[in-house]
């Protein structure tokens, strides 16, 4: 992808205060339908959050409202997966769009792609869709079976035919209760190993079952410390630029649910406190602003993981400053 250096934000034309009408159109796959964002950015932007206080803190840190909030359900039981009442209650006052990461089935529950593909979990997913609709979140973005191309998740696409059938069953079931739900088919950019072909696009469920084509992109394995490294990774078989091209070709929106600098672990190859990575990701977002459904920086303060936090605590001070320069007012 040919990219041009962008040093400032595009200014969004405000079409009305907090006008979220365009987000519903994500399900119609109309990349030309761009609405104003509460943040004032040219694309919907936010972060992950376990509670509204951290979400509000992120908005204060960057000086802009959050258009979206990425939440991951407690997937230890069907009750918390299919009926995430606690999540919806905590964020009841958030006026933006929820991006909800969901597995195919609860962890360590004995679930399988073959059972899912046969419709064994349809009832639970109908309940989930009905709950979203009842709680006024029927147009939420659901990141279904995210990072499916890794071998470290139970819902890995190691059997692509069963994965596709499972994905279709779950989507169809959710849509019975929430017909305007936005479905995100999202892969991981690093350490991908599934399906067996090594090509995650072999597990694409089909245009009728996908509204957003997504990717998670951490600055690691490989890290992007210079232009050549970033371009190679971004345009590689499992890179953000490649996913953006695929989404555009299919008339889909683009989602980037978990992206971040990595200052610890990183499987031996982390970019560290790398403001260059912030600039490059920003440039890609600007160039694809017309199709971006959302992007959420993964601000994770948990010790022993990837140490990505730009705010509360600041684990990457240079990157934190650069983020505010690029995303702030």
> Could you give the domains of the chain?
35-327 (3.20.20.80)
Tell me the C-alpha distance between 204 and 185, whole Å: 8
Bridge-based pairing of strands 68-72 and 45-48 is parallel
Cα of 32 vs its chain's centroid, Å:
20
pLDDT of residue 303: 76
Which two structure tokens, joined as six digits, stand for 116? 């899912």
DSSP state of 220: B
To the question of pTM greater than 0.85 for the whole model, the response is yes
pLDDT of residue 194: 87
Print pLDDT tens along the chain (329 aa): 333 333 332 222 222 222 222 323 332 233 334 457 999 999 999 999 999 999 999 999 999 999 999 999 999 999 999 999 999 999 999 999 999 999 999 999 999 999 999 999 999 999 999 999 999 999 999 999 999 999 889 999 999 999 999 999 999 999 999 999 999 999 999 866 789 998 999 999 999 999 999 999 999 999 999 999 999 999 999 999 999 999 999 999 999 999 999 999 867 789 999 999 999 999 999 999 999 999 999 999 887 789 999 999 999 999 999 999 999 98
User: How does pLDDT run across 73-87, given as a tens digit for each residue?
Assistant: 999 999 999 999 999
User: How does pLDDT run across 13-51, given as a tens digit for each residue?
Assistant: 222 222 222 323 332 233 334 457 999 999 999 999 999
Q: Mark 172-201 as b/e (b = at least 16 C-beta within 10 Å).
A: bbbbebbebbbbbbbbbbbebebbeeeebb
Which two structure tokens, joined as six digits, stand for 87? 């999540």
Non-local (6+) Cβ contacts of 263 within 8 A are 270, 272, 273, 306, 307, 308, 315, 316
pLDDT of residue 67: 98
pLDDT of residue 191: 66
pLDDT of residue 22: 32
Non-local (6+) Cβ contacts of 87 within 8 A are 71, 73, 98, 100
Q: How many residues does the chain have?
A: 329
DSSP 47-59: EE-SSHHHHHHHH
């Amino acid at each position: 992808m040919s990219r041009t250096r962008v040093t400032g934000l595009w200014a969004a034309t405000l079409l009305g205060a907090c006008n979220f009408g365009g987000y519903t159109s994500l399900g119609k796959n109309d990349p030309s339908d761009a609405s104003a964002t509460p943040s004032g950015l040219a694309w919907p932007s936010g972060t992950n959050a376990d509670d509204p206080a951290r979400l509000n803190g992120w908005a204060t840190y960057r000086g802009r409202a959050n258009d979206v909030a990425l939440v991951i359900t407690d997937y230890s039981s069907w009750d918390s997966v299919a009926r995430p009442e606690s999540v919806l209650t905590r964020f009841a006052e958030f006026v933006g769009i929820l991006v909800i990461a969901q597995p195919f089935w609860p962890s360590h529950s004995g679930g399988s792609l073959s059972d899912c593909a046969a419709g064994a979990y349809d009832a639970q997913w109908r309940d989930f869709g009905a709950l979203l609709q009842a709680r006024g979140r029927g147009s939420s973005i659901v990141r279904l079976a995210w990072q499916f191309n890794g071998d470290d998740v139970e819902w890995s696409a190691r059997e692509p035919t069963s994965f596709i059938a499972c994905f279709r069953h779950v989507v169809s079931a959710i849509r019975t209760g929430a017909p305007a739900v936005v479905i995100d088919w999202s892969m991981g950019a690093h350490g991908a190993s599934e399906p067996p072909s090594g090509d995650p696009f072999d597990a694409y469920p089909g245009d009728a079952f996908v509204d957003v084509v997504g990717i998670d992109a951490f600055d690691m394995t490989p890290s992007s410390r210079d232009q050549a490294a970033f371009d190679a990774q971004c345009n590689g078989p499992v890179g953000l630029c490649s996913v953006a091209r695929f989404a555009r070709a299919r008339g889909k929106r683009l989602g980037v649910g978990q992206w971040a600098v990595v200052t610890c672990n990183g499987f031996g190859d982390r970019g560290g406190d790398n403001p260059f990575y912030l600039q490059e990701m920003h440039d890609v977002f600007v160039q694809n602003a017309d199709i971006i459904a959302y992007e959420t920086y993964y601000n994770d303060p948990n010790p022993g993981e990837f140490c990505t936090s730009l705010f509360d605590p600041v684990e990457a001070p240079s990157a934190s400053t650069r983020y505010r320069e690029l995303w702030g007012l």
